[in-house]
Structure 1
Amino acid sequence: MEEIKFNQIGVSFKGSGSYVPDQILTNEEISQKVDTSDEWIKSRTGISERRISRVEDNVADMGYKAALTAIEMANWDIKTIDLIVLATSTPNDLFGSAPSIQAKLGASNAVAFDLTAACSGFLFALITTSQFLKAGNFKRALVVGADQLSSFVDWNDRRSCILFGDGAGALAIEATNEFDNFIGFDMRTDGERGCFLNLPSKNNEDSIIDNIQFLSGGFSPIQMNGQEVYKFAVKEVPIILDKLFKKTNYSSDKVDWLILHQANQRILDSVGDRLRIPKEKILSNLEKYGNTSAATIPLMIDEAIRNHSIKQNDIIATSGFGAGLSWGAALIKWG
């Protein structure tokens, strides 16, 4: 059978969705576990509370719930979805959790796979998916970001346990031959600095028989050099966004909203200052959710759409950054 290609040149944004667990862990409650305080955490990160998955929750369940709300906003027939890309670093199945989301949705005509790029994951997945649509092989796609970082946090490490939470977000995007609302993007990786933030494997030596040894699989908790990650983000994110503005013939004053990976409020403020973007244009919800890795950007987009901050044809500059080290930027028009 001859492959069918759609005649299309661009991407449009049709819907958004999100999901967060109902368990709330406040700064005051964390201070009962480690030597810290609400004032100390808020002054250094901007975070007041975060959501923690219950033991029966997992990434596939969270991603499914976020994806379903995005589909409902887009008003799609689920059978018309061609592609599902899940950005996650914490799949409940190491072989991939996107197929579980596909099955839960009943999206039997969609191909589904995972993409791992930590806190840059959603942005990288959005860029990847948009290229599939523009190539003409798919018409409708879901981009999902979901992470359950609570499972990989050392809850006795007061430097890192204050930062992370769980959640999921999703965007429904569609190919079109009328316009292109995916204006431009850029992506970067520097593995030389990857040691600043990682979730390394933890392998125990064992033997199958006397002379055949192997390493049993497992993972250590998140390891992070917060000072170096901060310096990396406040330097590289403004540079990549500024280059993207120049490449697309835009400027920061034409941007309606700046949506960054929600890692630390001081990073958001610093990037905004360097790009001369007013604080009222910088969207932030990390006070309520903390750093949910691949979920932060779609979670913020969905919240801003549902509270009517983001409107049709608004220009959004967005950047994801984190482990790898990896970072990227995209410029989109909503709708």
Structure 2
Amino acid sequence: MNRSIILGTGSFAPANVVTNEDISRKVETSDLWIRERTGIRERRIASSGESTSDLALEAGRNALRNAALSPADLDGIIVATATPDLTFPSTACLVQARLGIPGTFAFDVNAVCSGFMYALKIADSMIRSGQCETLLVIGAEVMSRFVDWSDRSTCILFGDGAGAVVLGKSGSSQTGGVGTVTLHADGRYWDLIHVPGGGSRSPVETEKPPGNACTIRMKGSETFRMAVRSLEESVREVLKEEGIGVNELDWVVPHQANIRILEALSERLGIPLGRFVVNIDRYGNTSAASIPMALDEAVQDKRIQPGHRILLTAFGSGVTWGSGLVHWTQKAGGDR
């Protein structure tokens, strides 16, 4: 059977930096309060002229450059996002048009913060089945457009950005690549994290929920407990399937939701937090973009090296969650 390998990684974030001090001038909070509860110091916020497809395009271009490939080498594009440019068409189609590759397939996946794991699984399955040889998988979000900046419980958390990987078919002499990827969901808990307005149930023009219906609502404590439990179970499921122990992992690249979730997961798994790739302090929660952004950072600074075992894991709205193992084969730190 074919295996897929990561040929290149890329990321992109808006230039506009919003610090905790900036937010404290809008709502009653402080830098210390935010850092102690979330681990976030600052986040990137898209300008009024930047959309999700803009960020996705740049991350995709960087991933292609680091893979030494051109857009013409792609069989398709999958974009994981919960914040598309438009209700339709898909953000992936907008990216495809700007890459200049008409005819390749392009579609979006919405599993919110778990979106990149879902997109990775789909792309890996397509390559394993022989349907495709080279795919661009992007996680991109402009979460700031769906934040209520008067709600200090949520406005402190989210940022904007994009990350991408190029997946390719492994050669006959290559080992490693994408291994087990498991996905889960439990729609009974859909209201733990959601945006109540803007869809067919409550269109913007006839919104019924109080206040701004098109902003994020979250039940923080319930989400925290379910995230930690689900992530631990998901990671152990992958390790069991792969037949390895936690001590055999070189790096954990988690969804960057909250430093307390990562600390709790580190303790429950018995993996030192120093083996987690963490950049939430500089980017906040970028939803589907967070894993590929963190992965690219660790590749570019050469923490991740050929032969390393990399565990990816995410939890998000839906609720959805998933984990996967990557046996790293790429030489780290491609030119930008």
TM-score range relative to shorter protein: over 0.9
Report the Cα distance in structure 2 between the residues aligned to 1:154 and 1:79, rounded to whole angstroms: 40
Displacement of 1:229 in angstroms is 0.8
Report the Cα distance in structure 1 between the residues aligned to 2:76 and 2:314, rounded to whole angstroms: 22
Q: Which moved more, 1:98-107 or 1:258-267?
A: 98-107
* 2:197 paired with 1:201: yes
> Which residue in the other structure is 1:3 paired with?
none
Query: Is contact 1:140–1:175 with CA below 8 Å preserved after alignment?
Result: yes
Query: Is contact 1:118–1:323 with CA below 8 Å preserved after alignment?
Result: yes
Q: Structure 1 residues 205, 329: closer, same or farther in 2, change over 3 A?
A: closer
> Which residue in the other structure is 2:332 paired with?
none
Which of these residues, 159, 164, 170, is aligned with residue 170 of structure 1?
164
> Which residue in the other structure is 2:241 paired with?
247
Q: What code does the residue aligned with 1:159 have?
A: S
Query: Is contact 1:141–1:172 with CA below 8 Å preserved after alignment?
Result: yes
Report the Cα distance in structure 1 between the residues aligned to 2:104 and 2:266, rounded to whole angstroms: 38
SS state at 1:220 partner? coil
User: Once the two structures are aligned, what percentage of the paired residues are identical?
Assistant: 37
> Which residue in the other structure is 1:157 paired with?
151
Q: Structure 1 residues 222, 140: closer, same or farther in 2, change over 3 A?
A: same
Displacement of 1:181 in angstroms is 1.2
* 2:45 paired with 1:49: no
> Which residue in the other structure is 1:184 paired with?
180
Displacement of 1:106 in angstroms is 1.7
Map Cα deviations across residues 186-210 of structure 1 (whole Å, 9 max, x no partner).
111011111110112243698xxxx
SS state at 1:104 partner? helix
Displacement of 1:172 in angstroms is 0.6
Which of these residues, 196, 219, 222, is aligned with residue 225 of structure 1?
219
Displacement of 1:180 in angstroms is 4.5
TM (norm. structure 2) is 0.92
Displacement of 1:220 in angstroms is 1.8
* 2:125 paired with 1:134: no
Query: Is contact 1:170–1:299 with CA below 8 Å preserved after alignment?
Result: yes
Map Cα deviations across residues 122-145 of structure 1 (whole Å, 9 max, x no partner).
111011110011110110001000
Report the Cα distance in structure 2 between the residues aligned to 1:205 and 1:122, rounded to whole angstroms: 27
Structure 1: 5+ residue stretches without partners: 1-7, 207-213
Correspondence 1:175-324 to 2 at 5 A: 175-178=169-172, 179-202=175-198, 203=202, 220-324=214-318
Q: What code does the residue aligned with 1:220 have?
A: C
Report the Cα distance in structure 2 between the residues aligned to 1:242 and 1:81, rounded to whole angstroms: 34
* 2:83 paired with 1:83: no
Q: Whose strand fraction is larger, Structure 1's or Structure 2's?
A: 1
Query: Is contact 2:34–2:40 with CA below 8 Å preserved after alignment?
Result: yes
Query: Is contact 1:80–1:109 with CA below 8 Å preserved after alignment?
Result: no
* 2:62 paired with 1:69: yes
> Which residue in the other structure is 1:99 paired with?
93
Report the Cα distance in structure 2 between the residues aligned to 1:149 and 1:326, rounded to whole angstroms: 18
* 2:29 paired with 1:29: no
Displacement of 1:280 in angstroms is 1.5
Map Cα deviations across residues 132-161 of structure 1 (whole Å, 9 max, x no partner).
111101100010000001000000000000
Q: Structure 1 residues 288, 105: closer, same or farther in 2, change over 3 A?
A: same
Count of residue pairs the alignment pairs up: 320
> Which residue in the other structure is 2:333 paired with?
none
Query: Is contact 1:9–1:180 with CA below 8 Å preserved after alignment?
Result: no
Displacement of 1:334 in angstroms is 1.7
Report the Cα distance in structure 1 between the residues aligned to 2:93 and 2:203, rounded to whole angstroms: 30
SS state at 1:160 partner? helix
Report the Cα distance in structure 1 between the residues aligned to 2:130 and 2:2, rounded to whole angstroms: 8
Q: Structure 1 residues 172, 204: closer, same or farther in 2, change over 3 A?
A: closer
SS state at 1:39 partner? helix
Q: What code does the residue aligned with 1:36 have?
A: T
Report the Cα distance in structure 1 between the residues aligned to 2:251 and 2:101, rounded to whole angstroms: 32
Q: What code does the residue aligned with 2:191 have?
A: C
